[in-house]
């Protein structure tokens, strides 16, 4: 694996190897001193052109737990405001010694372009509404650690699928690992063309809720125009919100997931968010391990690691 | 200056014949066999086609205002290199060409530094803002025959109707960049399976078709000459075909890139595939080719849209729209349509000259006729790496092509001479 840009082309074997490695790093993070040395001397640069806190911190935590140094670039304090191009920013960070780059950008494809311009591994930290592969990895990790597998599970992804890079990444990762994925949203929040997608879609949450093992909720992305897709928030909540009543209809053992940030009272009722069947904080915790697995794998793939002691 | 074009297949009023052509001054002096012209510059045209210079109804020369992308000198040099003797310059400059003195500036500048004839197009609305009519009379008096807000469609039907009524009296052409702003809002590529997977907001085919359908209803009422710019969908082709069958004065153009590529190219994330209208489906490409063959589409027009390299060093969604096309148009058309020289000269010279009202262009080669000529070699193989244009945002950069202009003659002046051949 040269870069990690998308889950679309990840085979089952690659995904499982990353998940196995993530499991080992979970164990590392549970140690008294949660740190291992394989990326010592390497520098991981996070280039976040879009405001983000949790993903950037998660990557930086992962890099530090592997003993890498971290360089952090974000638009608020950067030369972007002075008109620097994406290419010049990437080349500048590379010249300062970045060995791995994590790129988040509001525009689709930005990490692909960076990967053309620099000679180091690039991780897609989220590009527009396109892909967010490490989120898919941590989601799959969370599900596998809870259920022991993804094979045969029914996973429903509910909400603003059209504008969601999480959904686009999860659909491929979950189905490659053997789960059956259903997208649940009004037609105005579904992609206009699902030709070739390894999933089905419905506009009726109540019709499918009882058979789901995992209900994965997404925020409506008002900043990408999601809020013009339905008449009002109360109407949206009544059709697609995971209320207490709907939560009660979930099958025994079914769990609730959300990539954050959550809008309590919209897609998820506060009591549901706080219930012990909501794995939201597990997702956050396991995200660090999953990102360690990705950084470690990319560094190893380019012969950058010092010693293999996961 | 005297030029002798020796031994090419010449497009005469009576069809194609292998002949010599002598150009003297701004006219064709003689057409015949074994012609002699002492002191003449000789162009060896064996195996080449000799016909009227190409005419491009849709070129962005970027001057005034965007000279870092292209200017009249560099853009017309690119045109000459592609075999063009006349281009229609789009008015979306800064300032936009919405009044007489601005159109005169473009025409005058082209006379001073240009390597082909330039007919300025004028705006339909003042400042391309879509609120008031541009200075249509002034523009007409300055030689403008094609009116367009290209880059945007005129969304306001009431305003467009006024423009149509006004220009119908003059005989001007209303040329529309058809794109309904509501349906197109936020879009970066064709709305379809690829945009859905890439998570990019789409430009639906309907955004184009809806505006064309509306406009045709207005054309029916006003009787204006109407030209559809850069047709990109099968549905638009059907609308234009019906309008023509109904006897409306409607013409249409298509770009070389829409005849060549489909939306799956965007998967590369390369901004050299970003253009408005966007690349559509393979089915649309096939329908466009057929429409060029059957005459539903009259003209091939490049929509030559130069941008500086650094402006493309950004993600696809943030890249400016459009690609250059003047230097590769003939090769691309040849690849898309086959080596049908009648068809190619009809669509690249005769019909666009007629639409623009330029009577010294697009005419068969005959003694006494205007010396606006091109010599093209339909078998020349080449790979564009650099361009005469100031820009190099071309989807054909690095792609092996067949067919290129060997020589271009504008009003008797050799404006392009291939350095490899001849």
DSSP string, B353-411: HHHHT-TTSS----TTSB--EEEEEEEEEE--SS-SSS----TTTT--EEEEEEEEEET
Cα B6 to Cα A215: distance, rounded to the nearest angstrom: 77
The neighbour count for residue A248, using CB atoms within 10 Å, is: 8
Residue B201 included in any domain: yes
Cβ contact A108–B314 (<8 Å): no
Average pLDDT over residues B237-257: 98
| A139 and A253 belong to one structural domain | yes
- pLDDT per residue over A239-281, tens digit each? 999 999 999 999 999 999 999 999 999 999 999 999 999 999 9
Task: Work out the minimum CA distance from B320 to partner chain A, whole angstroms.
Answer: 13
- List the CATH number of the domain containing A84: 3.40.50.1370
Task: Check the CA dihedral A161-A165-A168-A174 and report its sign.
Answer: negative
Question: Regarding predicted confidence, which is higher, A223 or A101?
Answer: A101
Q: In the prediction, which pLDDT does B418 show?
A: 87
B3: enclosing H helix or E strand: strand B2-12
- The answer on pLDDT for A59 being more than 80 is yes
The neighbour count for residue A226, using CB atoms within 10 Å, is: 23
Distance of CA B316 to the CA centre of its chain: 24
Cα B331 to Cα B334: distance, rounded to the nearest angstrom: 5
Candidate from A49-58, A280-289, B134-143, B382-391 with smallest mean pLDDT = A49-58
Q: Among B309, B327, B356, which residue terminates a domain? A: B356
Task: Work out the minimum CA distance from B192 to partner chain A, whole angstroms.
Answer: 6
Candidate from A52-56, A132-136, B207-211, B219-223 with smallest mean pLDDT = A52-56
Q: In the prediction, which pLDDT does A306 show?
A: 59
| B374 and B253 belong to one structural domain | no
Average pLDDT over residues A2-17: 97
**How many folded domains does chain A comprise?**
2
Collapsing DSSP to helix, strand or coil, B98 comes out as coil
- The answer on pLDDT for A112 being more than 80 is yes
| B334 and B352 belong to one structural domain | yes
The tokens of B343 are what? Answer: 């068809």
- pLDDT per residue over B182-209, tens digit each? 999 999 999 999 999 999 999 999 999 9
Q: Which of B193, B197, B318 has its CB closest to that of A107?
A: B318
pLDDT grade, residue B274 (50/70/90)? very high
Average pLDDT over residues B300-309: 97
Q: In the prediction, which pLDDT does B421 show?
A: 41
Average pLDDT over residues B46-71: 98
Structural domain boundaries, residue A239: 133-280
Residue B323 included in any domain: yes
Transcribe chain A into DSSP letters: ---B--STT--HHHHHHHHHHHHHHHHHHTSSS----TTTT-EEEEEE-S--SHHHHHHHHHHHHTT-EEEEE-GGGSGGGGT--HHHHHHHHHHTT-SEEEEEESSTTHHHHHHHH-SS-EEEEEETTTB-HHHHHHHHHHHHHHHS--TT-EEEEES--TT-HHHHHHHHHHHHTT-EEEEE--GGGS-S--TT-SSEEES-HHHHGGG-SEEEE----GGGTGGGGSS-HHHHHHHH-B-HHHHHHSPTT-EEE--S---BTTTB-HHHHTSTTB-HHHHHHHHHHHHHHHHHHHHHHTT--S----
What residues of chain A lie within 8 A of the CB of B274, using their CB?
Answer: none
Structural domain boundaries, residue B256: 53-356
Q: Which of B186, B196, B269 has its CB closest to that of A192?
A: B196
- The answer on pLDDT for A182 being more than 80 is yes
Q: In the prediction, which pLDDT does A80 show?
A: 56
Distances in Å between the alpha carbon of B142 and those of B136, B145, B146, B225? 10, 9, 12, 19
Cβ contact A109–B318 (<8 Å): no
CB B241 within 8 A of CB B291: yes
Q: Which of B186, B199, B315 has its CB closest to that of A86?
A: B315
pLDDT grade, residue A304 (50/70/90)? confident
Q: In the prediction, which pLDDT does A102 show?
A: 98
Cβ contact B314–A113 (<8 Å): yes
Cα A79 to Cα B359: distance, rounded to the nearest angstrom: 54
The phi-psi region of residue B128 (left if phi > 0; otherwise alpha if psi is between -120 and 50; otherwise beta) is left
Average pLDDT, chain A: 94
What residues of chain B lie within 8 A of the CB of A83, using their CB?
Answer: none
Task: Work out the minimum CA distance from A86 to partner chain B, whole angstroms.
Answer: 6
Residue with tokens 């494809």: A109
- The answer on pLDDT for A227 being more than 80 is no
| B25 and B117 belong to one structural domain | no
CB B147 within 8 A of CB B163: yes
| B291 and B194 belong to one structural domain | yes
- The answer on pLDDT for A310 being more than 50 is no
Q: In the prediction, which pLDDT does B1 show?
A: 86
| B73 and B216 belong to one structural domain | yes
| B105 and B22 belong to one structural domain | no
Average pLDDT over residues A37-63: 94
> Which residues of B are known catalytic residues?
303
CB B71 within 8 A of CB B308: no
- pLDDT per residue over B63-106, tens digit each? 999 999 999 999 999 999 999 999 999 999 999 999 999 999 99
- pTM value is 0.93
- pLDDT per residue over B148-177, tens digit each? 999 999 999 999 999 999 999 999 999 999
Q: In the prediction, which pLDDT does A301 show?
A: 86
- The answer on pLDDT for B383 being more than 80 is yes
Task: Work out the minimum CA distance from A79 to partner chain B, whole angstroms.
Answer: 15
pLDDT grade, residue B407 (50/70/90)? very high
- The answer on pLDDT for A305 being more than 90 is no
pLDDT grade, residue A74 (50/70/90)? confident
What residues of chain B lie within 8 A of the CB of A88, using their CB?
Answer: 313
Q: In the prediction, which pLDDT does A83 show?
A: 67
**What percentage of chain B carries pLDDT values higher than 70?**
99
| A40 and A50 belong to one structural domain | yes
Q: Which of A109, A195, A197 has its CB closest to that of B315?
A: A109
- The answer on pLDDT for B358 being more than 90 is yes
What ipTM describes this predicted complex?
0.90
The tokens of A20 are what? Answer: 């196995």
pLDDT grade, residue B414 (50/70/90)? very high
- List the CATH number of the domain containing B378: 2.30.40.10
Residue B93 included in any domain: yes
Cβ contact B197–A87 (<8 Å): no
| B279 and B301 belong to one structural domain | yes
Average pLDDT over residues A157-162: 97
| B40 and B140 belong to one structural domain | no
| A87 and A113 belong to one structural domain | yes
Q: Which of B192, B197, B316 has its CB closest to that of A107?
A: B316
| A138 and A243 belong to one structural domain | yes
pLDDT grade, residue B422 (50/70/90)? very low
Question: Regarding predicted confidence, which is higher, A154 or A50?
Answer: A154
For helices A12-29 and A54-65, give the axis angle rounded to 10 degrees: 80
Q: In the prediction, which pLDDT does B367 show?
A: 98
Cβ contact B196–A109 (<8 Å): no
Chain B: residue whose CA lies nearest to A129: B199
Convert B81-112 to b/e letters by CB count within 10 Å (16 or more is b). Answer: bbbbbbbbbbbbbeebbbbbebbbbbbbbbee
Mutation for testing the B interface, residue in A50, A86, A113 having most B CBs under 10 Å:
A113
CB A111 within 8 A of CB A127: yes
pLDDT grade, residue A224 (50/70/90)? confident
What residues of chain A lie within 8 A of the CB of B315, using their CB?
Answer: 86, 105, 107-110, 113, 127
pLDDT grade, residue A81 (50/70/90)? low
Pairing of strands A214-217, A154-158: parallel
**How many folded domains does chain B comprise?**
2
Task: Work out the minimum CA distance from A106 to partner chain B, whole angstroms.
Answer: 9
B313: enclosing H helix or E strand: none
Cβ contact A127–B315 (<8 Å): yes
The tokens of A59 are what? Answer: 């990557």
Q: In the prediction, which pLDDT does A222 show?
A: 87
- The answer on pLDDT for B116 being more than 50 is yes
Mutation for testing the A interface, residue in B196, B200, B207, B282 having most A CBs under 10 Å:
B196
Cβ contact A192–B310 (<8 Å): no
């Amino acid at each position: 694996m040269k870069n990690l840009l998308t889950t679309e082309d990840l085979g089952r074997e690659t995904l499982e190897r990353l998940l196995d490695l993530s499991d080992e790093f979970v164990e590392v993070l549970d140690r008294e001193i949660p740190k291992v040395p394989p990326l010592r001397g390497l520098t991981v640069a996070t280039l976040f052109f879009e405001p983000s806190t949790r993903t950037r911190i998660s990557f930086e935590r992962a890099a530090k737990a592997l003993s890498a140094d971290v360089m952090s670039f974000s638009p608020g304090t950067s030369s972007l405001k002075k008109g620097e191009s994406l290419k010049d920013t990437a080349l500048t960070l590379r010249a300062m010694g970045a060995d791995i780059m994590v790129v988040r950008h509001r525009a689709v494809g930005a990490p692909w372009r960076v990967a053309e311009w620099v000679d180091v591994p690039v991780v897609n930290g989220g590009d527009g509404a396109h892909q967010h592969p490490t989120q898919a990895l941590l989601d799959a990790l969370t599900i596998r650690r809870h259920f022991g597998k993804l094979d045969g599970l029914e996973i429903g992804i509910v909400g603003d699928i059209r504008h969601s890079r999480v959904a686009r990444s999860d659909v491929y990762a979950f189905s490659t690992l053997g789960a059956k994925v259903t997208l649940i949203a009004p037609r105005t929040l579904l992609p206009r063309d699902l030709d070739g997608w390894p999933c089905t879609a419905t506009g009726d949450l109540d019709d499918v809720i009882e058979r789901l093992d995992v209900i994965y909720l997404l925020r409506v992305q008002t900043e990408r125009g999601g809020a013009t897709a339905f008449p009002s928030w109360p109407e949206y909540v009544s059709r697609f919100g995971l209320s207490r009543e709907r939560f009660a209809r979930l099958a025994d053992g079914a769990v609730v997931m959300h990539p954050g940030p959550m809008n309590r009272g919209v897609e998820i009722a506060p009591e549901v968010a706080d219930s012990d069947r909501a794995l939201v904080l597990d997702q956050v915790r396991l995200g660090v391990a999953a990102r360690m697995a990705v950084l470690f794998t990319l560094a190893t793939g380019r012969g950058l690691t010092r010693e293999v002691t996961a | 200056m005297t030029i002798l074009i020796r031994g090419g297949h010449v497009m005469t009023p009576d069809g194609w014949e292998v002949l010599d052509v002598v150009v003297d001054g701004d006219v064709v002096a003689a057409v015949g066999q074994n012609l002699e012209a002492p002191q003449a510059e000789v162009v060896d045209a064996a195996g080449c086609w000799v016909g009227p210079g190409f005419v491009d109804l849709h070129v962005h020369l970027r001057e005034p205002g965007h000279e870092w992308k292209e200017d009249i000198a560099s853009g017309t040099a690119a045109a000459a290199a592609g075999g063009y003797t006349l281009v229609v310059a789009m008015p979306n400059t800064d300032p936009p060409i919405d009044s007489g003195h601005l159109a005169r500036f473009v025409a005058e500048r082209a006379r001073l530094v240009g390597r082909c004839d330039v007919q300025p197009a004028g705006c339909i609305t003042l400042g391309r803002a879509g609120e008031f009519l541009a200075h249509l009379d002034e523009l007409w008096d300055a030689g403008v025959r094609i009116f367009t807000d290209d880059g945007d469609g005129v969304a306001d039907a009431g305003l467009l109707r006024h423009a149509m009524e006004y220009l119908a009296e003059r005989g001007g052409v209303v040329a529309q960049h058809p794109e309904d702003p509501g349906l197109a809002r936020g879009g970066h590529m064709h709305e379809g399976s690829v945009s859905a997977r890439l998570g990019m907001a789409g430009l639906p085919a309907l955004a184009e078709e809806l505006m064309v359908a509306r406009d045709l209803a207005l054309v029916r009422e006003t009787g204006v000459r109407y030209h559809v710019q850069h047709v990109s969908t099968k549905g638009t082709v059907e609308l234009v075909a019906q309008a023509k069958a109904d006897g409306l004065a409607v013409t249409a153009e298509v770009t070389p890139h829409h005849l060549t590529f489909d939306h799956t190219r965007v998967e590369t994330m390369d901004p050299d595939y970003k253009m408005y209208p966007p690349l559509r489906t393979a089915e649309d490409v096939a329908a466009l080719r057929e429409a060029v063959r059957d005459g539903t589409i009259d003209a091939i027009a490049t929509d030559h849209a130069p941008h500086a390299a650094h402006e493309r060093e950004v993600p696809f969604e943030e890249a400016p729209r459009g690609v250059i096309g003047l230097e590769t148009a003939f090769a691309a058309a040849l690849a898309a349509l086959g080596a049908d020289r009648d068809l190619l000269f009809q669509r690249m010279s005769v019909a666009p000259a007629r639409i623009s009202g330029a009577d010294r262009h697009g005419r068969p080669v005959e003694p006494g006729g205007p010396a606006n000529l091109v010599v093209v070699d339909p078998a020349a193989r080449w790979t564009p790496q650099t361009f005469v244009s100031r820009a190099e945002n071309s989807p054909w950069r690095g792609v092996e092509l067949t067919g290129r202009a060997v020589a271009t003659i504008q009003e008797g002046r050799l404006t392009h001479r291939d350095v490899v051949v001849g």
